[in-house]
Amino acid sequence: MSTTRRVVGTDDLNLVEAKVTWHAYMLCCFASFGGILYGYDTGYISGLLGMNYVKEHLGHKVPTSVDPSGFIIPSSRKSLITSIMSAGTFFGAIFGGAIAERIGRRLTIMLCCLVFSAGVAVQIGTNDSVGGLSAGRFIAGLGTGGVSSTVILYVSEIAPYRVRGILVSSYQWAITLGWWSLPLPESPRYYVQCDNMDGALRSLERVRGQPGSDPAIQAELAEIKANYEYEKQISSNSWFDCFKGGMSPYGNLRRVLVGVCLQMFQQWTGINFIFYYGTTFFQQVGIKNAFLISTIMNIVNVCSTPVSLISIERVGRRKLLLWGAAFMCACEFIVAGVGTGKEGSHTANICLIVFTCFYISAFAMTWGPCAWVVIGEIYPLPIRAKGVGLATASNWLWNCVIAVITPYIVDTDKGNLRAKVFFVWGGAILLALLFVFFFIPETKGLTLEQVDRMLEETTPMTSTKWKPHDTFAHEMGLTDKHETAATVVEHHHKPTATSETIGPVV
């Protein structure tokens, strides 16, 4: 719906975002509880596979020398039950991004919650059937994947830029904790994309807690509008546009690949190896009280994540990712080295427990939240929903791959890598560290529109020094109260249409 509401922008960099009330913070935190759907699966599946009851009903008999319960779940069945949900989330994440552009972020989150609930109902209704359990987990995965991409998109778009990292990180914390009603407003940036400026103004009033007549609200809305019109000169919001521009600083393809690879490396840290298979793995290496150890590691995860709520805006995304990768890499190689050199010993088991806790804590404070924050910030508005969807789908794709292959490489009747598997995770984290150094910019303290400009004008290594120097509203001519149209201004290397007007300034 096209509207003609008039807004006037500003060239004052201090007014690119309106003041925010506690109401806005609560909306973002409330939306972030979508992470509970992800955490629900991650939290229960490891313990489920280690339960004697489940082994008896889904496995087959073995000598008690192989498993004290007298039963074991075959690697193939364990792989299927664990990974099938990740397969569903892969498709859910892609579809979620596309649907969010059609019906809005808010309605997409609600729809995905319904799908997730249907999947849980199927799992509850199944009667010791691997097929029924797998079908239910796949359906639930569709909902979880849709929520995981749309919540990141939604919170990134409505959160105040000074604390955007904190509020998006609360999504990761919700993952660690495990239906929530949705009295949420739609994203104002979605309304701008739909050319519904009345809706955008009403939404911005709610998420900022300020009246629409406030000059700062008007200025922020004009900045969002101007940035969208600027980007629209370059590309539309089709899937094809996600892959335009090559590897140039302003190329959409570069940004999509950065998000996809960042989420891939988050999974290759090996974190979900612990949370999916930790209980059974600890049993295999001879650790007693495997359930207790897994519970302790979950507590470490939950308690460590809030640290990122403080550090992500003070330290920054890039530094946290670099430091986190370095520390996790060291922990992984220590576990692998001691576990291989003193295999089966008490020393090796203590080392495994202690340094895995250190590693989980480091992940929870750095890579856990930061990877989600970054993918919500680096895409231009026309392709943001699809870009976040592709990055999230990458997370779930590699989540699925790791869930499939892990039983085959660590189970005693298969690869039997035991502690050597930590060499795999450590090597992957080393590559992740190099990737962050060369490709991940610093985005803290910038609006989404300023991030867009920063990515055009700097490199990841120099991004921490970049400062905003102009507004899109000023560049696009939306600061003159007597103008009703704005001419596209050529900027750096980005091609623009010549003498083409935005249309009615609303």
Question: Is 70 exceeded by the pLDDT of residue 2?
Answer: no
pLDDT at 492: 42
pLDDT at 5: 55
pTM for the model: 0.78
* Neighbouring residues of 86: CB distance < 8 A, sequence distance ≥ 6: 141, 396, 397, 399, 400, 403
Q: How many CB atoms lie within 10 A of CB 395?
A: 29
Question: Is 90 exceeded by the pLDDT of residue 265?
Answer: yes
H helices within 209-345, ranges in order? 215-232, 252-267, 271-284, 290-314, 317-341
Question: Is 60 exceeded by the pLDDT of residue 8?
Answer: no
**Contacts by residues 199-208 (CB-CB < 8 Å, ≥ 24 positions apart):** 199/1, 199/3, 200/224, 200/225, 201/5, 201/7, 203/158, 204/18, 206/23, 206/27, 207/24, 207/27, 207/158, 208/18, 208/19, 208/20, 208/21, 208/24, 208/160
pLDDT at 285: 80
382 against 44, higher pLDDT: 382
Q: Could you tell me the sign of the dihedral formed by the alpha carbons of 128, 133, 135, 140, in that order? A: positive
Query: Residue 401 — pLDDT band, cuts 50, 70, 90?
Result: very high
Judge contact between 20 and 209, C-beta under 8 A. yes
pLDDT at 181: 40
In terms of phi and psi (left: phi > 0; alpha: psi -120 to 50; beta: otherwise), the region of 279 is: alpha
pLDDT tens digits along 322-339: 999 999 999 999 999 999
The pLDDT mean for the chain works out to 82
Question: Is 70 exceeded by the pLDDT of residue 216?
Answer: yes
Give the whole-number percent of the chain exceeding pLDDT 90: 30
* Neighbouring residues of 242: CB distance < 8 A, sequence distance ≥ 6: 252, 253, 256, 383, 386, 387, 390
The residue extents of the domains of the chain are 13-210+234-450
pLDDT at 355: 96
Of 25-34, 59-68, 145-154, the range with the lowest mean pLDDT is: 25-34
pLDDT tens digits along 68-101: 888 888 888 888 888 898 899 999 999 988 898 8
Name residue 260's amino acid: V
pLDDT tens digits along 422-434: 999 999 999 999 9
Nearest CA to 265 among 395, 378, 460, 424? 395
Alpha-carbon distance values, 218 to 163, 185, 441, 479, 481 (Å): 21, 18, 29, 11, 12
Q: Mean per-residue pLDDT for 342-355? A: 91
In terms of phi and psi (left: phi > 0; alpha: psi -120 to 50; beta: otherwise), the region of 195 is: left
Query: Residue 440 — pLDDT band, cuts 50, 70, 90?
Result: very high
**Which of 291-305, 349-363, 376-390, 394-408 holds the top average pLDDT?**
349-363
Of 310-319, 449-458, 470-479, the range with the lowest mean pLDDT is: 470-479
Query: Under CATH, domain 13-210+234-450 is a member of which superfamily?
Result: MFS general substrate transporter like domains (1.20.1250.20)
Alpha-carbon distance values, 182 to 19, 33, 110, 186 (Å): 24, 11, 7, 11
Name residue 278's amino acid: G
